[in-house]
Amino acid sequence: MASTPISSATGDARALHARSLEQPEQFWLDAAAGVTWEQAPTRALDDSSAPIYRWFPDGQLNVAYNALDRHVEAGRGEQPALIHDSATTGTQTTYTYSELTDEVARTAGMLAELGVGKGDRVIIYLPMVPQAPIAMLACARLGAVHSVVFGGFSARELASRIDDATPDVVLTASGGIEPKRRVEYLPTVAEAISLAQHPIRDVVVAQRKGFAHSLDEYTDSEAQPARWHDWESSVAAAAPAAPVAVAGTDPLYVLYTSGTTGRPKGVVRDQGGTAVALTWSMPHVFGVDAGETMFTASDVGWVVGHSYIVYGPLLAGATTILYEGKPVGTPDAGAFWRIIAEHGVKTMFTAPTALRAVRKADPEAALLADYDISCLEYLFVAGERLDPDTQRWAAEALKVPVVDNWWQTETGWPIAANPVGVELLPIKEGSASLPTVGYDVVVLDPLGERLPEGQEGSIAIRLPMPPGTMATLWGDDQRFVDSYLSTFEGYYTTGDSGYVDEDGYLYVMGRTDDVINVSGHRLSTGEMEAAVATHPAVAECAVIGLADELKGQRPSGYVVLKSGQEIGEDDLRAELTSLVRSTIGPVADFKDVAVVSALPKTRSGKILRKTMRQIADGDEYKVPSTIEDAGVLDELIPVLRREG
């Protein structure tokens, strides 16, 4: 839909945001009243260790109790809490709040019998099956810290997270089911355990039919250092565990995100701040109240899945849908519309990549005619930049507001959004609308000076950030400060560039670092380069993210061969693709490789990746005055433009 004029009068959304910045202590204590506390907080913010802040320092609660038990106690135990809709197996399973509470309590009991307690870490490596949210909530019930690892990651990536989080237990399954293949998890888990320096004591496997590898291979193997258990029988034999009260500042989970180096960053989300922020956001930002249904088409391995498949909807007492399937191909491009119609979805949340895939398969949205989606009121979209064409197509097809919103793994909930539960603001294509409550968003120049409206610069958030955002990096406060808080004193640096218009609307244009967004997944080009560089024929390389109509961005590699090396480009491409796949996983989608004679660099030796990306994408660019040899760039331009 086209941009519409905005009144200069202060609306409810703007007034609410202003109050959150002017009176943060009272604002967030008021919001905390929406959560059930074992010991209610008397203070909202602890700034004694600034720039590291803590929210609700004297509060005590249990997040799983807030997500489950309290709704049962309120008389809504028979309401559907979780609907597992598996298009890949053709099955649907509904858990009421009573049933899900019981299942989580027994799973927590199973973990307790394996020695898991308050503060212990548990790795969860599961597909989109009910055991995934059940495992997360079971950890929260015990006060344990879960770390979910996306099932598309390789054994090396899983091992790096094991070594950083140092868990004793891994929860996994036989594998994940894709439209055209089955992904075996057990060999990956076994390899990760062998690669990791930190020992794993126990592995619990949810067994699924139709996989080549079975639990028996590992329980009967003396070579396996860990004890392997069957999930179903272990849970059946366990006594239910009661919720454990923890401090509001204790960690709820660690979620790893790619950095610009090969070492992953473990984003720590706390208990109290997360419960308050997500509970507040459900009705105010997403327009979802208790008893209503939200469908978030994401994966529990990503932050969107944590916040708005699992914790957010259940904290609000809503019904959430766990979808095991794809936007297209399971069986067709009407999959989303079927789910909306069958389950009475009020608010849907997905990524631009998914909408582009649906549009490509069904450009006229003809399959919508097969379903009654009159229950749908809002479509929220995030994970990468929402291009205006896709936003317009979805709005015209669905006849509902298509709400762009912007946030990060680090923030846990939207930095900017259209708060439909407060006030549906006019929609501007290409903008994530206004900053959300608690976020004091500014655009800065390289010297840290605030830029006027309309000028693009680095997007930063004035400290402190609101509850629910990252507390620190796991085990490394200094890396947290160095990575996020040191570029501009007093600000969190988002790593994104953009601008604010005359109405205060925020436009996010892209990353300023070497992290790219492939189908909504943030991946490090530095990690890909490290993998490519291990090939014996490669002298040096650069990997950049190119604009992709379907996936947002795709990685493209440019390789300089060692002197005397002779290898066909097709063979090299296949070998490098395999290297990146084994190091990072198929989620990297690394396929494009070009052999070049040299890479453009500054006189200090820095590769001009940004300039290369601008040329490949057809954007305006300036050749830096610090370039070492402009002729190298001239020779590369035809290759870049062909790749783009």
Question: What are the 10-residue block averages of pLDDT along the chain, 644 residues in total?
Answer: 32 91 97 98 97 98 98 98 96 98 98 98 98 98 97 89 97 93 94 96 96 90 85 98 98 84 84 98 97 96 96 98 95 97 98 86 94 98 83 95 95 97 93 97 92 90 98 96 95 92 89 71 75 85 86 88 83 92 84 89 69 87 72 88 66
Q: Which residue has the tokens 């379907």?
A: 550
Topology of domain 515-643 in CATH is: GMP Synthetase; Chain A, domain 3 (3.30.300)
The single-letter code of the amino acid at 467 is P
Handedness of CA 21, 23, 26, 30 (dihedral sign): negative
What ranges make up the beta strands (E) of 512-588? 515-518, 521-524, 538-548, 552-561
CB 433 within 8 Å of CB 506: yes
In sequence order, what are the beta bridge partners of 69?
none
CB 106 within 8 Å of CB 114: no
Structure confidence at residue 133 (pLDDT):
98
- Two tokens, residue 575: 């070998």
The single-letter code of the amino acid at 246 is V
CB 345 within 8 Å of CB 317: no
Structure confidence at residue 202 (pLDDT):
97
In sequence order, what are the beta bridge partners of 497?
458, 510
SS3 83: strand
Q: What is the CATH code for 68-80+100-244?
A: 3.40.50.980
- List Cα–Cα distances, 506 to 175, 456, 484, 493, 509, in angstroms: 41, 10, 20, 15, 10
- Two tokens, residue 29: 């204590």
> CA-to-CA distance for 11 and 13, rounded, in angstroms?
5
Question: Residues spanned by CATH 3.40.50.980 within the chain?
Answer: 68-80+100-244
In sequence order, what are the beta bridge partners of 441?
461
| Alpha carbon 234 to its chain's center | 30
> CA-to-CA distance for 72 and 101, rounded, in angstroms?
8
Cβ atoms within 10 A of the Cβ of 157, count? Answer: 23
